């Protein structure tokens, strides 16, 4: 276990290093000069050169990347070029909002996805199954921006059940979390359905039914814990998809998370923020996968971490 | 004081307090109330030496003051922290007499030392101010650094004398820019690089709270030196709000001014509803949208080709694409800008004439070129309209739709044969015709990385522009504007641009917002002038 953890942590560090390198290269070769963005349209050539020197952007790539890494290991993500604020502060101020939305969103996905998957598996081949699978197909392919706006319009503007965007109370959380839940539930319901169908065919299920246990008890106590196993691994992967998809939902609902921050930074070529958010997102994905691996043996004793 | 009197005794007093043209307070205005303004993007910074986007520009204006200011809702200069000013006959020495009893938000009295410190700071390369270049006319600018500007002298605690190295008729406008705001040294030193998050000025409002990524709260400065204003007790800026959502919230009574304006997709719907349209204020804007034609590249090095392109563009149709939120343009200056040439027709839409000119240039069969455009709506749609117009005269334009920063880069490097300026178009820094020339049409901006994307450089026009800006005697303002009018018609004869349209501004407000309409389309405070609007 300890050896496994050590090896995985080393791997994670390498992955993060790789991510930092690739992102840095991509931003370096970008045909847009961050110094021009900072200097503004009225700047003289002299001003532009001054800023370039002060930011060290006149240095060769290796020096720039080396300096970035050196600061990074000290926990310094640099200062935003345009906001002039420490990137660490910008991310930390927004991270709680994103984590909260992520947890609520994944919970919503699971509740919706799993129950739809179970219901579809139990109704396999019948109309209910087809309707549910059709729905999962629609939600997976639906454009996030449109669904978010639709949810906002119907439940906040028309019905007035929830605030029109914003952050702060539990009521603010419901709509964005539900939107993420609906959009992501399709993956889970499809996976849950096939996993459940497989488990329902297993011998021990037939045994349980033969013992005379009720249908509900068989499904919930015997089938579900076994069918849900592959789903656990999927949550770890889902965090990655989530970090990408949360940008749109955060924008529409005015949710002050890091997705919003990243989107703005990309438009303004604010490299330190783009780097910082990319690294933090990569970290979240790495941690998510690691946790999924660590939890697996507790659910399925056949899995051993070596 | 005596020193000041002695020096002023020698100079001709050219301009004195502009009391006559100052603002008449609204008799219906009520003090009190709080309004909510929304924005999609985070506020970048509130440091007046750094902030240079249309979102933080008006916010900084309400937190800080410079020596000069504008009459609310107009482009007329009026004294700000300066009570009066003198200009020497040669136009080189400006002596500003400061108001007594002005206090910073931290309670300390503002003095001439603060004025000098602020100008030294903004021009110091260490500050990385995007506005440093505006102060280039001040003596000692080229040597500016930790030592400060030699051209800015403190005469006494309430008098500052600024010496220029060359006459600059726009200098008073420059002193009204946010970059010339007066800041207290001790607050800047204490905050260091975070001054933009903890601003301290002399303005009508002070920053009470800033929750990163969520909201900023401006609170009324009870000690504000201008009597009677601001009316509002509080302005709350909520950031991270999509314009479409902001509009829904406004309709629901939760928002007073959507800072990003009416979303284009909703514009027709809003204007078709009389109740909503009544709450939209329309006004001019110091903006021109244009197509640059790179005069250093074939075939745009030929004047006939540039004229032909000017004649081929159907500006009325492009204006329709943006729901008529603009007026077709004939020249670089927008109609609300002093120096605009009334009655100048420019190049009329004439396909046959355009074809004839192309034939004259030996390109009767047309040619192929690239049209660069920023990739956000409505710009790609406008580019398609331009593409179709050009196809009608046999020119095949390939659209290169890129992110803003990439288009600016290509334009600066001189790689782009044609650029549609939408999303990056010039909006004046100050209401003076010179501001539309130097960086975007003059030789100064034509170098590598400059904003003159046509790379147009005409020495005779540059000389005329310099001559115009040397006429700093306010009595000759009319002569100066006439010269500028000649410069811009001269530019049009060479046709390095196709001026397409001048955007109009549409500010939407909630029903409870009060104040003159002009305050909601204030030329220098976008979206509104926070110091003078009120809640009914």
CATH of the domain at B307: 3.10.105.10
Q: How far apart are CA A267 and CA B408, in angstroms?
A: 13
What's the pLDDT at A30?
Answer: 79
Quick: pLDDT tens for A270-305.
899 999 999 998 888 888 888 888 877 777 777 777
User: How confident is the prediction for chain B on average, in pLDDT?
Assistant: 91
Q: Which of residues 40-59 of B touch A (CB under 8 A)?
A: 40-42, 44-45, 47, 50, 52
Identify whether residues B455 and B408 lie together within a single domain: yes
Give the residue numbers spanning the domain of B352: 287-503
| pLDDT value for B196 | 94
Domains of chain A, by residue range, sit at 2-72, 88-299
Indicate whether A64 pLDDT > 90.
yes
Contact between A32 and B197 using a beta-carbon 8 Å cutoff: no
Q: Determine if the peptide bond prior to B66 is cis (ω within 30°).
A: no
Check pLDDT > 70 for residue B14.
no
Task: State whether B452 and B530 are in the same domain.
Answer: no
Same domain, yes or no, for B352 and B452?
yes
**Does residue B235 sit in helix, strand or coil?**
strand
Whether residues B190 and B293 fall in one domain? no
**Domain check: are B393 and B518 in the same one?**
no
Whether A277 has its CB under 8 Å from any CB of chain B: the answer is no
Q: What is the pLDDT of residues B276-322, one digit of tens each?
A: 999 999 988 889 999 999 999 989 999 999 999 999 999 999 999 99
B 204-223 residues inside an 8 A Cβ radius of A: 211-214
Count how many domains chain B has. Answer: 2
- A15, A297 Cβ separation under 8 angstroms: no
Residue B234 within any structural domain of the chain: no
pLDDT tens-digit readout, A143-167: 888 899 999 999 998 898 999 888 8
For B494, list phi and psi in degrees, rounded to 5.
-90, -15
In a domain, B72, yes or no: yes
- Residue B313, chain A, CB below 8 Å: the answer is no
CA distances from A134 to A131, A138, A149 (A): 5, 6, 22
* B224 interfaces chain A, CB cutoff of 8 Å: no
Do B521 and B428 have their domain in common? Answer: no
How much is the average pLDDT of B454-471? 94
CB-based contact, A158 to chain B, within 8 Å: no
Query: What average pLDDT does this structure show over B261-272?
Result: 91
Chain A contact for B266, CB < 8 A?
no
A240 or B264, greater pLDDT: B264
- Whether residue B265 has pLDDT greater than 90: no
Note whether A27 contacts B: Cβ–Cβ < 8 A.
no
**What residues in B contact A42, CB-CB < 8 Å?**
52, 130-131, 133-134, 429, 439
Query: Helix or strand or coil: residue B413?
Result: helix
Comparing B11-25, B152-166, B476-490, the range with the smallest average pLDDT is B11-25
Chain B residues close to A259, C-beta within 8 Å: none
Supply the pLDDT for residue B21: 55
Phi, psi of B382 (to 5 degrees): -65, -40
pLDDT at position B19, please? 39
pLDDT at residue number B11: 37
What is the residue whose two structure tokens read 């026009």? B461
Test A47 with B412 for CB contact under 8 angstroms: no
Which residues in B lie closer than 8 A to residue A164 (C-beta atoms)?
Answer: 245, 248-249, 252, 254
The residues, ordered by sequence, that sit 6+ positions from B261 with a Cβ below 8 Å of its Cβ are B243, B505, B506, B507, B508, B527
**Mean pLDDT calculated for residue range B122-148:** 90
Q: Are B63 and B530 in contact (CB under 8 A)?
A: no
pLDDT of residue B7: 38
Rounded mean pLDDT, B131-148: 90
The residue that leads in pLDDT, B133 or B512, is: B512
CB proximity A144 to B under 8 Å = no
Question: Is residue B479 located within the same domain as residue B512?
Answer: no
In this structure, is residue B272 part of a structural domain? no
Please state, in angstroms and as integers, the Cα–Cα distance from residue A296 to each residue in A231, B156, B439, following that order. Answer: 10, 77, 63
Q: How confident is the model at residue A14 (pLDDT cuts 50, 70, 90)?
A: very high
| B215 located within any domain | no
Tell me whether residue B237 is in a domain: no
Residue A97 with chain B: CB contacts under 8 Å? 213
Residue B344 clears pLDDT 90, i.e. is over it: yes
Nearest CA in chain A to B215: A256
CATH number of the domain residue B522 falls in: 3.90.76.10
* Same domain? B62 vs B37: yes
Work out the average pLDDT over B404-422: 90
**Is residue B114 in a domain?**
yes
Q: Does A82 touch chain B (CB under 8 A)?
A: yes
Q: Specify the higher pLDDT residue, B233 or A165.
A: B233
B97-112: pLDDT as tens digits: 999 999 999 999 999 9
Give pLDDT, residue A82. 82
Mean pLDDT, all residues of chain A: 87
Residue B238 lies in a domain: no
Q: Nearest CA to CA, how far is B493 from chain A (Å)? A: 26
- Per-residue pLDDT tens for A162-214? 998 888 889 999 999 999 999 888 889 999 999 999 888 889 888 888 888 88
Give yes or no: residues B94 and B142 share one domain: yes
Q: Are residues B401 and B478 in the same domain?
A: yes
* Structural domain contains residue B414: yes
Interchain contact A282–B (C-beta under 8 A): no
User: Chain A residues with CB inside 8 Å of B132's CB?
Assistant: 43-44, 47
Q: Whole-angstrom Cα distance, residue A210 to residue A225?
A: 19
Residues B366 and B468 in one domain: yes
Tell me the per-residue pLDDT of B34-53, one tens digit each, with 9 for 90 and over: 999 999 988 989 999 999 88
Residues of chain B found within 8 Å of residue A166, distances taken between Cβ atoms: 238
Which of these ranges, A296-300, B194-198, B328-332, B340-344, has the smallest mean pLDDT? A296-300
Residue B1: per-residue pLDDT: 35
Q: Model's pTM, two decimal places?
A: 0.87
Least CB–CB distance from A165: residue in B130, B245, B406: B245
Query: What are the angstrom distances between the C-alpha of B405 and each of A40, A60, A81, B178, B320?
Result: 11, 22, 14, 24, 27
Average pLDDT in the B83-91 region? 93
* pLDDT for the residue numbered A33: 80
Return the residue in B188, B212, B411, B438 with the most chain A beta carbons within 10 A, the one to mutate for interface testing: B212
* pLDDT (tens digit per residue) in B208-221: 999 988 999 999 99
In the structure, what pLDDT confidence band is assigned to residue A306 with cuts at 50, 70 and 90?
A: low
- Restricting to B residues 152-181, those with a Cβ less than 8 Å away from any Cβ of A are none
What average pLDDT score do residues B48-75 get? 93
Burial class (CB in 10 A: 0-12, 13-18, 19+), B253: exposed
> Which of A42, A261, A267 minimises the CB distance to B429?
A42
Q: Return the CATH architecture of domain A88-299.
A: Orthogonal Bundle (1.10)
Residue B449 and residue A85: Cβ atoms within 8 Å? no
Could you give the CA distance from residue B88 to residue B111 in angstroms, rounded to a whole number? 23
Write down the pLDDT at residue A240. Answer: 74
* d(CA A119, nearest CA chain B) in Å: 36
Residues B166 and B150 in one domain: yes
Residue-level pLDDT at A161: 93
**CB spacing of A37 vs B405 below 8 angstroms:** yes
In chain A, which residues have their Cβ closer than 8 Å to the Cβ of B42? 83, 260-261, 264
Q: What is the mean pLDDT of residues A233-240?
A: 76
CA distance B6 to B11: 9
Q: Does A47 or B511 have the greater pLDDT score?
A: B511
User: What confidence score (pLDDT) does residue A242 get?
Assistant: 78
User: What is the per-residue pLDDT for A165?
Assistant: 86
Closest CA to B84 of B27, B13, B135, B33: B13
Q: How far is B413 from chain A (nearest CA, A)?
A: 11
C-alpha closest to that of A35 among A47, A20, A22: A47
The span from the CA of B214 to the CA of A198, in Å, is 48
| Cis check: omega of the bond before B230, within 30 degrees of 0 | yes
């Amino acid at each position: 276990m300890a050896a496994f953890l050590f090896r995985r942590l080393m791997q994670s560090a390498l992955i993060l290093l790789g991510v930092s390198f690739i992102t840095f290269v991509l931003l370096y070769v970008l045909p847009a000069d961050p110094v021009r963005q900072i200097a503004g349209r009225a700047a003289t050539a002299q001003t532009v050169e001054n800023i370039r020197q002060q930011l060290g952007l006149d240095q060769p790539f290796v020096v720039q990347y080396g300096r970035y890494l050196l600061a990074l290991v000290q926990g310094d993500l640099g200062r935003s070029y345009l906001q002039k604020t420490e990137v660490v502060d910008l991310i930390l101020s927004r991270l709680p909002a994103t984590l909260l939305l992520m947890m609520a969103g994944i919970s919503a996905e699971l509740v919706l996805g799993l129950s739809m998957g179970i219901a579809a598996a139990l109704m396999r081949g019948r109309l209910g199954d087809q309707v549910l699978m059709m729905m999962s197909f629609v939600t997976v392919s639906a454009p996030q921006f449109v669904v978010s706006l639709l949810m906002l319009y119907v439940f906040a503007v028309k019905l007035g059940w929830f605030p029109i965007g914003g952050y702060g109370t539990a009521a603010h959380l419901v709509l964005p979390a539900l939107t993420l839940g609906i959009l992501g539930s399709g993956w889970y319901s499809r996976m849950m359905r096939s996993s459940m169908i497989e488990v329902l065919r297993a011998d021990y299920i037939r045994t349980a039914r033969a013992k005379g246990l009720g249908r509900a008890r068989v499904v919930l106590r015997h089938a579900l814990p076994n069918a849900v196993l592959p789903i656990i691994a999927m949550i770890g992967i889902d965090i990655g998809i989530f970090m990408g998809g949360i940008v749109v939902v955060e924008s529409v609902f005015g949710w002050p998370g890091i997705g919003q921050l990243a989107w703005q930074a990309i438009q303004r070529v604010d490299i330190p923020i783009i780097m910082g958010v990319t690294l933090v997102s990569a970290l979240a994905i790495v941690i998510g996968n690691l946790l999924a691996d660590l939890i697996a043996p507790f659910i399925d004793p056949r899995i051993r971490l070596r | 004081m005596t020193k000041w009197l002695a020096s002023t005794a020698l100079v001709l007093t050219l301009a004195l307090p502009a009391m006559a043209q100052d603002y008449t307070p609204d008799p219906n205005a009520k003090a009190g109330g709080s309004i909510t303004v929304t924005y999609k993007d985070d506020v970048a910074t509130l440091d007046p030496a750094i902030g240079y986007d249309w979102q933080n520009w008006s916010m900084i204006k309400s937190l800080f003051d410079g020596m000069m200011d504008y009459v609310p809702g107009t482009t007329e200069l009026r004294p700000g922290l300066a009570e009066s000013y003198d200009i020497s006959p040669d136009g080189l020495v400006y002596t500003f007499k400061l108001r007594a009893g002005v206090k910073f938000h931290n309670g300390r009295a503002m003095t001439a030392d603060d004025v000098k410190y602020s100008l030294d700071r903004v021009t110091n390369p260490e500050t990385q101010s995007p506005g440093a270049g505006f102060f280039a006319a001040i003596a000692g600018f080229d040597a500016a650094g930790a030592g400060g500007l030699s051209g800015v002298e403190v005469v006494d605690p309430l008098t500052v004398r600024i010496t220029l190295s060359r006459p600059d008729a726009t200098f008073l406008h420059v002193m009204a820019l946010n970059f010339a705001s007066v800041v207290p040294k001790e607050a800047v030193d204490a905050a260091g690089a975070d001054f933009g998050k903890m601003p301290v000025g002399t303005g009508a409002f002070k920053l009470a709270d800033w929750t990163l990524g969520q909201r900023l709260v401006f609170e009324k400065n009870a000690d504000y030196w201008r009597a009677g204003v601001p009316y509002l007790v509080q302005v709350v800026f909520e950031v991270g709000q999509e314009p479409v959502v902001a509009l829904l919230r406004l309709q629901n009574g939760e928002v007073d001014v959507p800072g990003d304006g009416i979303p284009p997709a909703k514009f027709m719907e809003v204007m078709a509803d009389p109740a909503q349209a009544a709450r939209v204020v329309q006004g001019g804007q110091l903006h021109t949208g244009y197509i640059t034609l790179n005069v250093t590249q074939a075939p745009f090095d030929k004047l006939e080709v540039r004229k032909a392109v000017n004649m081929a563009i159907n500006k009325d149709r492009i204006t329709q694409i943006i729901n008529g939120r603009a007026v077709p343009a004939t020249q670089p200056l927008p109609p609300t800008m002093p120096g605009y040439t009334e009655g100048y027709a420019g190049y009329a839409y004439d396909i046959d004439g355009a074809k004839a000119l192309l034939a004259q240039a030996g390109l009767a069969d047309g040619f192929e070129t690239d049209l660069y455009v920023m990739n956000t709506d409505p710009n790609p749609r406008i580019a398609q309209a331009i593409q179709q117009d050009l196809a009608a005269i046999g020119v095949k334009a390939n659209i290169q739709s890129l992110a803003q920063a990439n288009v600016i880069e290509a334009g600066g490097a001189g790689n782009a044969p044609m650029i549609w300026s939408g999303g990056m178009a010039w909006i004046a820094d100050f209401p003076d015709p010179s501001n539309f020339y130097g960086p975007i049409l003059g030789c100064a901006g034509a170098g590598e990385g400059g904003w003159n994307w046509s790379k147009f450089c005409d020495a005779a026009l540059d000389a005329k522009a310099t001559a115009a800006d040397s006429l700093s005697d306010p009595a000759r303002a009319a002569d100066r504007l006439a010269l500028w009018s000649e410069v811009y018609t001269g530019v049009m004869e060479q046709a390095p641009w196709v001026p397409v349209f001048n955007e109009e501004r549409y500010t939407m407000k909630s029903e409870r917002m009060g104040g003159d309409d002009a305050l909601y389309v204030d030329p220098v405070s976008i979206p509104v002038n926070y110091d003078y609007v009120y809640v009914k």
